[in-house]
Chains A and B, each alone.
Chain A
Amino acid sequence: MAEYSWEARSPLRKAFAPGRIGLASGDAGIAMAEISDFSLVQVMARRGQVANVAKAAKKAWGALPPERPAAVVGKGATLIWTGPDQFFVLSAGSVPDPVPPLAAIFGGTASLSDQSGGRCLIQLSGTRARDALAKVSSIDLHDAVFPIGAAAATSIDHTGVNLWRGPDAANGSSVYSLLVFTSFADSLWHTLADAAAEYGVEATRTPLS
């Protein structure tokens, strides 16, 4: 079989420009980042195997997969609810094939599918992140309803996204992560940038840590 050397490119290569967007004066109210270099695998429990999948995940990452819309930070991976009996395993570092190690963990109790190259990860943080996101999402983002660890499979601007709130940033501001299909990433980036422009945006690109 021929050896291919694929050049990894950002799905945001059209929309993304580093630096300031919108309001140019004062501190940027929003940091918008494309998070790169991650592995993302969809895990779907096979019929009747939910308990075994949970047990395997607990052993591997010290965290139970969420049974309701939530994102759980485990050791070495974040488990993000995507639907009943299914979740994403998100981990730092891009590898050629992230499925075999997970196949070893779940041993036939779950169906696995590599989504690393299929999704773009966008992170919104900063003092006005919630205000910008609220303009384009119908999810109630109030702290009481959407606290740290909350997640939602939802649509923004007619585009399916997996949204969750991670631990707050060092400066105390909320951090929202959005996974979107790569072919819709440019479009979603534009939508978010437009919503955030009035608060001032600092756009960056960072590997997942």
Chain B
Amino acid sequence: MRIACPFCGERELGEFTYLGDAAPKRPLAFAADGAEQPDAQDLFFDYVYLRDNIAGDMNERWYHGGGCRSWLTVTRNTTTHEIKAVRAAPGAGAQKPAKAGAIS
């Protein structure tokens, strides 16, 4: 499997580390007024432990640690391993991807 880093170009899998599903969003433990969210425990349990087991296209976080050290969001088909899109993860330092490398 090869991943086309939007900054570096196409690279071998060994340069990347897999984090997992890009979908979970960290829930708020407290409301704006400082009060504890009544369902915070359940929300955090979901956030930390529960994952969908998707057969098909899935957005995942990958880390290009063996290269430019950027976090990436990769759309991968979990049954065929086809990679449909690679983009910089939001807040991964860069403002915009460089022109190098094809974004498939």
Contacts and interface: CB of A to CB of B under 8 A. Distances in A.
Contacts of A69: 7-9, 98, 100
A154 B15 contact: yes
A138 B88 contact: no
Interface stretch (B32-40, B41-49, B61-69): B61-69
Nearest to A154: B67
Chain B interface mostly: loop
Contacts of B68: 82-84, 153
Contact of A68 (B65, B92, B95, B100): B100
Given A69-B100, A154-B66, A85 B94 contact: yes
Given A69-B100, A138-B11, A154-B11, A85 B95 contact: yes
A158 B14 contact: yes
B67 A68 contact: no
Nearest to B9: A69
Contacts of B66: 154-155, 158, 160
Interface of A: 44, 47-48, 50, 67-69, 82-86, 138, 152-155, 158, 160
B59 interface: no
Nearest to B15: A155
Interface string B82-94: 0000001000111
Interface of B: 7-9, 11-12, 14-15, 65-70, 88, 92-95, 97-100
6 contacts: A67-B99, A68-B98, A68-B100, A85-B95, A154-B11, A160-B67
Contacts of A83: 7, 68-70, 93-94
A160 B65 contact: yes
A70 to B, nearest CB: 9
A30 B7 CA distance: 31
B95 A154 contact: no
B93 A84 contact: yes
A178 to B, nearest CB: 14
Contacts of B8: 69, 152-154
B41 to A, nearest CB: 34
A69 B99 CA distance: 10
Contacts of B67: 152-155, 160
Contacts of B70: 83-84
Nearest to B14: A155
Contacts of B93: 44, 83-86
A208 to B, nearest CB: 24
Contacts of A154: 8, 11, 15, 66-67
B63 to A, nearest CB: 12
A180 B9 CA distance: 21
Contacts of B92: 84
B86 to A, nearest CB: 14
A64 to B, nearest CB: 13
